[in-house]
Amino acid sequence: MKLLILAAVLAVDAFAGALPELRAGAARLDITPREGSALPMSGYAGRKEGFKEIHDRLYARAIVVRAADVEVALVVADLIGFSNRLWERFAGRIAADSGIRLDHILLAGTHTHGGPALGNYPGEPQSPEQSAYLDELEGKLAAAVVEAKRNLRPARIGFGTGKASVNINRRAKMAAGDWWLGLNPDGPSDKTVAVVKFETHEGDAFAFLVNYAVHATVLGPRNMAISADLPGATSRLIEEQFGDRVVAVFTAGASGDQDPIYRVGTDFEQVGALGRILGEEVLRVAREIRTSPYGRLGAVQRVVSCPGKRSPDGPRRRTDGRYEFVDADPVDIRLSLLMLHHVAFAGVSGEVLTRIGEKLKAASPFSRTIMVTHANGASGYLPDDEAYDQVSYEIVTARVKRGCAEQAIVDNLVAMMEEF
């Protein structure tokens, strides 16, 4: 028996020795627009005026990981997301300044609807104030990654999951019999809280990567104050628990049809309450995570295209359910895979509905799979095929026809994972 145990220990040591040691670094930079700049706010079409005040700060948070000669970077900003043009501009700057390959960078937004509108979508006007903010933002996103790279140190990394009932399916049947934005407790909803922990060899945590499927819309369209909403409240609670010695990066999972259980208000107490629920679950999970100093890294990107459609009436609800769609330009979807040893970060450039996220995890060759949405571009809503049976807001505004996005996302990401 002793010989068997010794052999097992030696086998584990030999396997670990075959893997490169991991180094990781993290950074956080303030990207809040200047007080008085009166930038318009993002996420709701009805808000035409500029923001009135700053309730809480917005940040860009970055984690860089190196193993042997491979480096990957994940940078997430408290913003609604990045158009394809902005992704090309900002990711290109990050790659140039940091020396990290473009296809090894995952740039995402938390999808807060409490941030400034970036004004860089086709046909969307851009004010001089927005142009100035974008110039500043470009430099800060790159600086966050450069600082995270500068902070590289020998690291141990581990993965864990928990549960939190903070989200709810929002595709709901209305009194008129149609489907629109509401609360649907019977609809699909993934409650998984995924956590990746980064710590020193001495066991001191210095970064967390958190993933949860929820829209950052607790505050709703009447809010006129800059706020990172629920993702920001979650990150702040975690960071404050460590005296700001850690960086807590929040990423959105497959949340295209997932709203917070408290929603469409202007009550920051609700934001804090949900942030506490999520943050405390992250901390509980983190205490149980076992970490390793060894691992392999890899990254690959792929662009797939789906036939396009649009609604001539725009995103207007029809209580009779009689919607008309016409053909439109094809829609490109950028898929970005970051492999951190046994954890697969599957980035998708859009608002993915929850069934696609669930199907990816079921089909993935890696049991530890995290879908990161609003990543490396913006392709709009990406519904699963079944969702088109109930025409809701997400279906009306989606730019992809039925029968493409679900299979394209799942099949291609799985194929990309099988390269590792």
The residue that leads in pLDDT, 57 or 18, is 57
Backbone angles phi, psi at 344, to 5 degrees: -105, 115
Side chain identity, residue 10: L
pLDDT band for 6, please (50, 70, 90 cuts).
Answer: very low
Q: Collapsing DSSP states into helix, strand and coil, what is residue 251?
A: strand
Residue 9 falls inside a structural domain? no
Residue 7 falls inside a structural domain? no
Find the helix or strand (DSSP H, E) in which 276 lies.
helix 268-288
Residue 8 has pLDDT above 50, yes or no: no
Residue 2 falls inside a structural domain? no
User: What pairs with residue 253 in β-bridges?
Assistant: none
Residue 55 falls inside a structural domain? yes
Residue 224 has pLDDT above 90, yes or no: yes
pLDDT band for 148, please (50, 70, 90 cuts).
Answer: very high
Q: What Rg value do the Cα atoms of the chain yield, rounded? A: 21
Answer positive or negative: Cα dihedral of 221, 224, 228, 234. negative
Rounded to two decimals, what is the model's pTM?
0.94
Residue 357 falls inside a structural domain? yes
| Residue 211, domain extent | 17-417
Q: Which two tokens stand for residue 136?
A: 């500043």
Backbone angles phi, psi at 319, to 5 degrees: -65, -20
pLDDT band for 285, please (50, 70, 90 cuts).
Answer: very high
Residue 82 falls inside a structural domain? yes
Q: How many domains does the chain have?
A: 1
Q: Which two tokens stand for residue 165?
A: 């009932």
Residue 330 falls inside a structural domain? yes
User: What pairs with residue 332 in β-bridges?
Assistant: 305
Residue 213 falls inside a structural domain? yes
Task: Report the mean per-residue pLDDT for the chain.
Answer: 94
pLDDT, tens only, 60-90: 999 999 999 999 999 999 999 999 999 999 9
